[in-house]
Structure formats: C-alpha cells, structure tokens
Structure 1
Amino acid sequence: MSGEEDAPLIESRADLIEVMASGGKPKAEWRIGTEHEKHVYRKAPVRPVPYAGDDGIHALLAGIEKRTGWHPFFDRGNPIGLRNMGAVGGISLEPGGQFELSGAPQLTIHDAAAELDSHLEDCRAVGGPLNIHFLGLGVTPIWSVGDIPAMPKSRYGIMTPYMNKVGTLGTSMMYRSATVQANLDFSDEADMVKKLRVSVALQPIVTALFANSPFVDGKLSGYLSFRSHIWLNTDRARTGMLPFAFEDGFGFERYADYALDVPMYFVIRKGEYINTAGESFRAFLDGKLPQLRGARPTLKDWENHLSTLFPEVRLKQFLEQRGADMGDRDHVLALSALWAGLLYDSEALDAAWDLVSDWTEFERQTLRNEVPRTAIHTRFRSGTVADIARLVVDLADDGLRRRKQLKGGDDETIYLAPLKQTLDLGKTQAERWIDRYNSAWAGDLVRIFDEAEM
C-alpha cells in the first residue's frame, strides 16, 4: 500500500483548493454519512476496558473482523480499526477506546438505520461474551482522564502532550468525550458556502437539542452538555464558529487559508508518525519544516492536516456536522435526519438561511458559549433556543417530507421523533438523566450505565 509520501506533490494553491472542491457532485449523487462514537465499559463492577488481553478492545476488533469479514489496519503492528472493503466506511478507535463507526454514504436515513442496527448487533454479539458494553453519552460520567486506558495509536501520543499546552480540557475531549456526526454533500462552491453558513449558525441549536452529558467525575457537572463545554477549552486555533465564513467572498480558498494557519500535529512517512505539533504547514510548503528539511507536502499530507481541524462544521470533500453529544440509537439517526431535511431540500435550506442570515457574529458566539450550560433554555433575543429549535425541526420535517423517501409506508420524518419529544417535554435528555439521578437512582450514578447502554 502506498503511503503519504507517494501521493502527488502540492504544486500550487489551486491544489489545496481542489482537494475540497473535488467533493462537489450533482444532487442525484448526494449521500448521508453517519458517524458515532460509543464509550466502552465492563459490568460487575463498572470499569473501563483496556486495549490488550483476551477480553480487551483488541479482542473486540478481532471478533468483529471475523464476524463481518472487514479488514484490519494497524499502527506499529497493533490493530486499531477495520475497513469495510466493499464500501466506504469502517470502525476506528478514539484515544480512550471510544468505538467509532464511520458509516458508508447512504442514500436515505432508512439505509443509515439499517447500517447502524447491523453494526450494533455485531457489537453486542461480540462484546457481550467479552463483558464489553457500549454507552451512549456525550462524556463518561464517572472516570477521570487518568482512569481511562490509552489506545496504541501514534497520533494520540503526539496529540496528548500538545493538548495540555493549548487548552485546559483537550485531554478530556480525547479520552472521555463522544459525539455523533452527520456528513453531507454539496454541489459546488456557492452551495457549499450557503450550507456551511446555515450549519455553523445552527450548530449551537443542535448542540442544545442533543445535550446528553450532564455528569463528570461522578457528579453533576453544572452543564447539560459538558462535551460541548470541553470543546470551548480545547485548542482555539483549530476549533470554533468560523466567523470568517460569513464574510463577503468566502469560499474554498478562504477556508484553505484558515487551514494553513492552524498548527500541524504530525506528518506520516513510511507508516510512521513524525511529531510536528505546533509547526506551520506554510513552512512545509516551502520545504522548511524542521523535522523534514527540504521535503515538500503531498496532497495526502494536506488531507491529513484538514482532518486535524475541529471547527463546529468541518469542510473536507463534504461538510461534517460536529455539534452533537452522543446519544442512543434514535438520537444518532435523528442528527442525520435533521441535517438532511435542512440541507438537501432547497426550500428548507432557503428558509433556514432566512432564519439565521441576520444573526450577528456576537450572537452566534454567545449562543455557542451559553448553550453548553443551559441548552434549549438559553435566552436568545425575545425568546429561547427552544423557540428556534421548534422552527428548525419543523423546517427539517418539511424538507424530509418533500424528499419522499419511503420505507414500509414511512418517510424519513419518523427519525425526528426524539427531537420532537425533547421539545414537547421542554427537557433535554441531559435533564431527564438529572431527574433520574435525583429520584429513582438516589444519587447512584452507576445506574446510568444500564439505562444508557446501547
């Protein structure tokens, strides 16, 4: 298998832009990708799961490999994930063993549901005999970062010490947070710009709807989405609300300029990760990277660098929606349904842009800052985030209805049910967990591992 060093060299700024622009495709080819990260744990007693051993995460990967026929990939001889060679997608390990499915691009949410259900069946069938179970929460509720075994991935050995230099909660992001992500396509630059602006503006609204991480270190955190709070304290150079995306003239080139100014993490050569944390990709372009004097980057190096940016919406060959806490099976699908309804129907997209187009940079950032603590109850103008969320869910519902993707007589609007329930109750999933903690559980937080098991 060829490596990063065998890919074509970057010859011009146009090459940087083309890596993203090449994702444009006609509407008939638009697909929906769903990614999610599950915490892993043992029962009796509840505790983290190590990588090694006959009943560790290594064994879990081996069992799923045997069950599915997917192919392992390695880091210094250690299996760290599986690839579905028949389709795009696979399984990978996050730093603290979070078990991630990167779903293949699907035509409908019904297809995404079938893929997810098959994956969860595999996880339970293989994990059960190993006493490995899966938790659908945005943050591990009782373990500190130091309690969680690290996975043997070279990039995480580089990222961990760097995170401690650039933020206060970066290692919490790595080792004890989990998210669900929806990936969606665009047709061309103008379509990308409109979709990205709508997505960035609405990301705090989505964070509020999906708030599902009220506990940390064995107690109430004071936040409904502690995972979202973590991201505010991770690495400001590579996170955030992309205010420049709302400036006149924004497009692929402006995003490339932003990416060039984000410090690097690593370069891969001959399968080995070279620590370049904090270095400039611009210097790399000039052959002045201290760790690789005279070497110039390839297109694969640039793609790798783009994957180390963590804004609320990430642009690659598609748009990655990154604002939601991990939840149960229905919430995983609800995220993809929400964004497909908003972005893949022109009427819904126009209406969503009308909704957010006059929001100021200050208002967008204030929402982002306050939503982790108060979620749908956050004040905005003359109302609350819940008021906006109702409008957004209604727009998505209309968009999905117009898509007319039916299975068994049901269209894709059925997948918005968890969000409608949150708005009908006036309580996020996080608040419902808090109610259980203060009543039925009598403060015994271990109970959540049974009730939030996937």
Structure 2
Amino acid sequence: MARDVSDTTPLGARAELIDWIASGEKPRETWRLGTEHEKIPFYTADASPVPYEGERGIRALLEGLQELTGWEPILEEGLPIGLFDEVQGGAISLEPGGQFELSGAPVRTLHETAAETARHIEQAKAVGARLGLSFLTLGMSPLWTRAETPVMPKARYRIMTAYMPKVGTLGLDMMYRTSTVQVNMDYASESDMVKKLRVSLALQPIATAIFANSPFTDGKPNGFLSRRSAIWLDTDRDRTGMMDFAFEEGFGYERYVDWALDVPMYFVKRGSTYHDVAGASFRDLFAGKLAQLPGEHATRSDWANHVSTLFPEVRLKRYLEMRGADVGPPEQINALSAFWTGLLYDDVSLDAAWELVKAWTSADRNNLRTDVPKQALKAVIAGRSARDVARDALALSKAGLKRRAFKDEMGQDESRHLAYVEEIVETGRTPAERLLELYHGPWAGSVKPAFRECVF
C-alpha cells in the first residue's frame, strides 16, 4: 500500500463498513486494471543490500525519482517513504526490506499498464545507475540473511515486525525478503464480485505455479520453486489463506466484513502517529471500547487501513487484488495482468473458468495451495495436473483478451502479453526451474550470477 488513508469520518453502524466495500462497484465501461510490482535493489558492484540512508541509499533513490518524475513525496516523520502521482494516481512505495514498489495507476488496457511498467523501470534504472544500484527480478532475496537485510523507517512496519513472530514463524521473511506482483480488478455488483473472487481464489495457486520464481535463499536452493508462496503458509493464519468461507452459500460483502472484523488489528493511526494495538479487536474500536485508546471510535480511515492489513490470496477492498505471484522480468509482470484480465473481464471466459473450478472441494483447493510452492505445475488437483489446469485457464484468458479487442499501435490485441506465460505452460518449465538448471550448471553452485542475469 502506497500510503495509509486519512479520513476522519466517524463510523456508526456495521452497514457503513459493508457500504464502503459496495461503493467499489463500477459499470463495465469504467472498469480499469492496476498493476503493482516490487523489486529488490542492490549495489551493482558487489551485490550487497541497499540501506535507507546514505548518499547512495534508498532515500537518495526516491529523491532522484522525485526530481525526474515530478511526483509528490510521501513523508513520514519528515522522511520520504514514497512518491505519489497527483495526475494519474500511481505511486511508489517502500516495503519493509527496501523492496521498491510501483503501484500503477488504474488504466483501461494491458497495453497502457505495460507502457507504464516500462516507463517506471526505465526511470528507476536511470536514477539507480547514477547511484550504482540495480534491481532483481526474483520473488525472494537470494543471498542476504534476514539480519543483513535493511529496515525501512515506516512506523507500521515497526509494529508488524514486533507482532509477526507471535503469530507465525515466517512473517519477517515475508516482510523483508520477498517480492511480488499483483493486479487489481474491478467488479460491477455484489454477484459479479462473488463470481470473480471465487474463480480467482480457486485459480490463484495456478498463477503461483506458473510464475514460480523464488528458488534461492541464503545463497543456495531453498527446496521450493516459490519460496515466497510457501512463506505465506506460516505468516499469520488469521489474515491469510484461501478464504474457504467465500465458497459458502450466501457469501457476499457482509460475510467478508464479518471476517475482516474478526482479524486482529495492527495499528490505529491518529494524525501522523501510529498507535500499536497489535492483536486488538476492531470490533472494540468500533464500539469505542478499545483498551489501548479509551474513548476512541472507528473512522472510515481506520477501516480502510485495517482492510489493507488483510492478506488472503485474493483481497477484497473496493476492488479485487490478485496476490499469488512472484515478481519477474517486465514480460512476466505484464503476463500476470493479462492472465487475470482475460479471465475476469470477459463474461464468456469468466463463466467457463467457474465451470473449470466449481467442483473443487475446500480440501482440493487447500491441498493445491500447499503443494504448489514445491511442485508448481506438477502439483495435482482433482486428478489433474496444475499444468493441465493452467493450459485450460490460459486458453480461456487468451480468448477473453481477443474478445476485448483492444489493439495497440501495431494492431495487436492484448493477448500478445500472454506470450511469456504461454511458453512456460507449453514447456512445463517454470522460471524457478530454469534458474535451478543454471545454478547446477553454468552458475557452478553460486547464486551470485543472479545479480547479473536476473536484473531489470
């Protein structure tokens, strides 16, 4: 999230929480997509991590990009922690370990989001080159220990850092050492949201498998193809997972709100101050009975900020966030957005995708989610390989993009952005498996070459 919300409008009824999510409904003609991706910076000369401060640190990178783009700085305690495009709506933010994130503006076509990603990467590389920095195209930091990883000066991350070890063993690895890409999608109505959420939840492990790209940790293979995905399995079970309740009869905005209300909070923000209330109940804040902040009542910003701290495989805010993929090179980032756009923004493909997954049981979906980090496309669900399911889903996505018929300046439709993923599914070799072949072959048992070859 680029910046926490500040809206002091008080909340007086549970219905207002439901209405907040329902307010995200948009007619089809105004649907947009937004692509977000993180990337891990390093010093090009010696593959060492980049701290926040210093003449060549993350702060200098932000300040250089501010000068180049004209975007407005996002400040916390007087320190720049991000940038915001007041015109188009995009933002740059920092993840806990210095992962550098672009939250793309909402755009109409995949051609636009691909151009935006290319422009941002070009700008980041230009400023980075002056500072001696480069950026990894991997879903997890491959070399540095957690102790060697920098810490960014953001109050919410200090609160989360203290809380994570209380609710899981790998939350700090998630925060400081992983790197992801996601795409944000609109919905027209509650029923449209429900169908899209169910389809994307069921297929999220398939996307994880296709884009698996985090096989190294601490300088060696970690035993997974998507270690980033495996880490989420032991981060915080209260706020992560496959949301089995989304497949229950009657699911909708109200049921999601009730789940969110029961997820413990991290913080309450008042003015510029983050109050650590980790583990406390939002219901208590809503009722004005939060022990840590006597007399305080929930505001609209409290709810928006709380919902942003939920981390299921697909997150519902006032849009849907596809959260299951490792980051990769630009063509991989674009392919993820294409995959979901073709499936979710075309009615024929969406209906067919539901037919593909609707017979799966909760056990089927969760077993796939558990198996995919190690097995990727070789995992099995309901007697079929993930690769076979991926092939079907990819065909539906491609057909959906062709029906959307948005052409670029060369006359090509959006399905061209699927080329990268089509090769993966056709060969059955994920990015991680290709990297492991390099590690055991030309790289001679070292991850150091990744800092030359897996770079934006």
Amino acid of the structure 1 residue aligned with 2:422: K
* 1:443 aligns with one of 420, 442, 445: 445
Amino acid of the structure 2 residue aligned with 1:416: L
1:35-93 per-residue CA deviation (whole Å, 9 max, x = no partner) reads: 00000101221100000011100000000000000000111111000000102121000
Q: Match of 1:51?
A: 52
Q: Match of 1:138?
A: 139
Q: For the Cα contact (< 8 Å) 2:377–2:386, is it kept in 1?
A: yes
SS in 1 for 2:224: coil
Normalising by structure 1, what TM-score?
Answer: 0.98
Q: Match of 1:213?
A: 214
Q: For the Cα contact (< 8 Å) 1:4–1:269, is it kept in 2?
A: no
Describe the shift of the 1:4–1:129 C-alpha distance in structure 2 as closer, same or farther (beyond 3 A).
closer
Q: Match of 2:430?
A: 428
Amino acid of the structure 2 residue aligned with 1:100: E
Normalising by structure 2, what TM-score?
Answer: 0.98
Q: Match of 1:223?
A: 224
Q: For the Cα contact (< 8 Å) 1:94–1:175, is it kept in 2?
A: yes
Q: Match of 2:75?
A: 74
Instruction: Return the alpha-carbon distance in structure 2 between the equivalents of residues 117 and 449 of structure 1.
Output: 20
Q: Match of 2:288?
A: 287
Match runs of 1:140-219 below 5 Å = 140-219=141-220
Equivalent residues, number: 452
Instruction: Return the alpha-carbon distance in structure 2 between the equivalents of residues 272 and 388 of structure 1.
Output: 47
Cα shift at 1:22: 0.3
Match runs of 1:9-20 below 5 Å = 9-20=10-21
1:419-442 per-residue CA deviation (whole Å, 9 max, x = no partner) reads: 111112211000000000111111
Q: For the Cα contact (< 8 Å) 1:73–1:79, is it kept in 2?
A: yes
Instruction: Return the alpha-carbon distance in structure 2 between the equivalents of residues 130 and 69 of structure 1.
Output: 19
Q: Match of 1:36?
A: 37
Instruction: Return the alpha-carbon distance in structure 1 between the equivalents of residues 365 and 383 of structure 2.
Output: 15
Q: Match of 2:413?
A: 411
Instruction: Return the alpha-carbon distance in structure 2 between the equivalents of residues 194 and 214 of structure 1.
Output: 33
Amino acid of the structure 2 residue aligned with 1:240: G
Q: Match of 2:373?
A: 372
Q: For the Cα contact (< 8 Å) 1:138–1:213, is it kept in 2?
A: yes
What percent of counterpart residues are identical? 54
1:220-250 per-residue CA deviation (whole Å, 9 max, x = no partner) reads: 1110000000000100000000000000110
SS in 2 for 1:175: helix
Q: Match of 2:322?
A: 321
Q: Match of 1:336?
A: 337
Cα shift at 1:270: 1.4
Instruction: Return the alpha-carbon distance in structure 2 between the equivalents of residues 252 and 24 of structure 1.
Output: 11
Describe the shift of the 1:247–1:103 C-alpha distance in structure 2 as closer, same or farther (beyond 3 A).
same
CA RMSD of aligned residues (A): 0.9
Q: Match of 2:86?
A: 85
Instruction: Return the alpha-carbon distance in structure 1 between the equivalents of residues 384 and 158 of structure 2.
Output: 45
Instruction: Return the alpha-carbon distance in structure 2 between the equivalents of residues 391 and 106 of structure 1.
Output: 27
Q: For the Cα contact (< 8 Å) 2:7–2:300, is it kept in 1?
A: no
Instruction: Return the alpha-carbon distance in structure 2 between the equivalents of residues 149 and 415 of structure 1.
Output: 34
Cα shift at 1:379: 2.0
Amino acid of the structure 2 residue aligned with 1:278: G
1:400-427 per-residue CA deviation (whole Å, 9 max, x = no partner) reads: 0000000111111111111111112211
Q: For the Cα contact (< 8 Å) 2:365–2:381, is it kept in 1?
A: no
Structure 2: runs of 5+ lacking an equivalent:
none
Describe the shift of the 1:152–1:386 C-alpha distance in structure 2 as closer, same or farther (beyond 3 A).
same
The 10-residue stretch of structure 1 (7-16 or 219-228) with the greater mean CA deviation from structure 2: 7-16
SS in 1 for 2:449: helix
Match runs of 1:114-129 below 5 Å = 114-129=115-130
SS in 1 for 2:157: helix
Q: Match of 2:244?
A: 243
Instruction: Return the alpha-carbon distance in structure 2 between the equivalents of residues 437 and 77 of structure 1.
Output: 43
Q: For the Cα contact (< 8 Å) 1:139–1:178, is it kept in 2?
A: yes
Q: Match of 2:101?
A: 100
1:181-217 per-residue CA deviation (whole Å, 9 max, x = no partner) reads: 0000000100000000001000000000000001111
SS in 2 for 1:291: coil
Amino acid of the structure 2 residue aligned with 1:429: P
Cα shift at 1:5: 7.1
Cα shift at 1:115: 0.5
Q: For the Cα contact (< 8 Å) 2:360–2:382, is it kept in 1?
A: no
Instruction: Return the alpha-carbon distance in structure 1 between the equivalents of residues 45 and 55 of structure 2.
Output: 18
Amino acid of the structure 2 residue aligned with 1:154: A
Cα shift at 1:380: 2.4
Q: For the Cα contact (< 8 Å) 1:195–1:343, is it kept in 2?
A: yes
Q: For the Cα contact (< 8 Å) 1:4–1:298, is it kept in 2?
A: no
Cα shift at 1:4: 6.4
Cα shift at 1:6: 5.4
Cα shift at 1:272: 0.8
Whether 1:309 and 2:310 are equivalent positions in the alignment is yes
Q: For the Cα contact (< 8 Å) 2:164–2:171, is it kept in 1?
A: yes
Cα shift at 1:321: 0.1
Q: For the Cα contact (< 8 Å) 2:262–2:283, is it kept in 1?
A: yes
Cα shift at 1:317: 0.5
Q: For the Cα contact (< 8 Å) 2:5–2:304, is it kept in 1?
A: no
Instruction: Return the alpha-carbon distance in structure 1 between the equivalents of residues 379 and 422 of structure 2.
Output: 18
Instruction: Return the alpha-carbon distance in structure 1 between the equivalents of residues 7 and 325 of structure 2.
Output: 36
Q: For the Cα contact (< 8 Å) 2:267–2:278, is it kept in 1?
A: yes
Instruction: Return the alpha-carbon distance in structure 2 between the equivalents of residues 366 and 82 of structure 1.
Output: 40
Instruction: Return the alpha-carbon distance in structure 2 between the equivalents of residues 5 and 286 of structure 1.
Output: 20
